């Protein structure tokens, strides 16, 4: 009897901590909302949505696109048919002829944002690099509030470490989240912005990041030149319209 109770307790405890993530990515850049149990999961339309801390191994969702179309989908969060934990399941979705196609694209270890957010910069003495240390407050870039003027671009070293942190993250959702937290700590040239945006895979997230960097760019007159980084003409047009709207 006692062993039975212990087994039941262990099962319940495992179930409580069995949490996985599910990521839905639009194949063609169309933005959407996810509805779970009649509740909207993401308030703003996005081309990539991360659903976190899912305790069930089967998740029923509805996907609502910008044009108002809604379609149901079933997401399976199992590893070769077996329950698992701390995994991220990626699904690609595509709306075609009023039909929703959902394709499983892979399972990965669930990732969180790096800690600390600001990368550690190695201290170099001559040609020898010693143990990395955290960026000191007095050497960190000055925070520039939106609407103020930037005078000096970030150093190549700062951009390099920012870029390395973006590359280390497994998806655009985390990259955009990191960018939102630390983009205002520096000022940028257009080439530096291009370099950082190159770490994003999808047009929609790349566009969102480009809007964040704009107020802190020293060369706003050249910002339109970044339009060639987008895959889809629709996103490129949105980007151009955004830059034009900032000039008014």
Q: In this predicted model, what pLDDT tens digit does every residue of 215-235 receive, in sequence order?
A: 999 999 999 999 999 999 999
pLDDT at site 170: 80
Helix residue ranges per DSSP H, the chain: 2-17, 156-168, 172-182, 190-197, 203-213, 233-246
Report the candidate in 33, 104, 102 with the shortest Cα–Cα distance to residue 73: 102
- Which are the contacts of 72, defined by CB distance < 8 A and separation ≥ 6? 60, 61, 62, 63, 100
CATH of domain 19-109: 2.60.40
Enumerate residue ranges in the chain where pLDDT < 50. 6-15, 118-148
Where in the chain are all domains bearing CATH 2.60.40? 19-109
Token pair listed for 196: 């950082």
């Amino acid at each position: 009897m006692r062993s039975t109770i212990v087994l039941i307790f262990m099962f319940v405890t495992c179930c409580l901590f069995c949490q996985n993530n599910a990521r839905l990515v639009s194949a063609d850049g169309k933005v959407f909302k996810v509805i779970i149990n009649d509740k909207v999961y993401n308030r703003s339309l996005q081309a990539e949505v991360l659903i976190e801390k899912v305790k069930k191994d089967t998740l029923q969702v509805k996907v609502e696109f910008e044009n108002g179309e809604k379609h149901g989908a079933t997401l399976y969060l199992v590893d070769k048919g077996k329950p698992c934990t701390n995994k991220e399941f990626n699904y690609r979705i595509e709306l075609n002829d009023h039909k929703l196609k959902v394709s499983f694209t892979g399972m990965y270890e669930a990732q969180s944002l790096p800690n600390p957010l600001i990368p550690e910069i190695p201290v170099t003495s001559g040609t020898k690099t010693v143990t990395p240390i955290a960026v000191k407050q007095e050497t960190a870039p000055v925070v520039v509030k939106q609407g103020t003027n930037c005078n000096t671009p970030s150093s190549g070293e700062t951009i390099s470490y920012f870029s390395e942190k973006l590359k280390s993250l497994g998806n655009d959702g985390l990259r955009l989240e990191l960018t939102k937290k630390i983009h205002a700590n520096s000022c940028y040239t257009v080439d530096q912005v291009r370099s950082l945006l190159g770490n994003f895979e999808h047009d929609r997230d790349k566009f969102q990041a480009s809007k964040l960097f704009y107020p802190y760019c020293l060369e706003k007159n050249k910002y339109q030149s970044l339009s060639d980084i987008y895959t889809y003409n629709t996103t490129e047009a949105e980007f151009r319209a955004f830059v034009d709207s900032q000039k008014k």
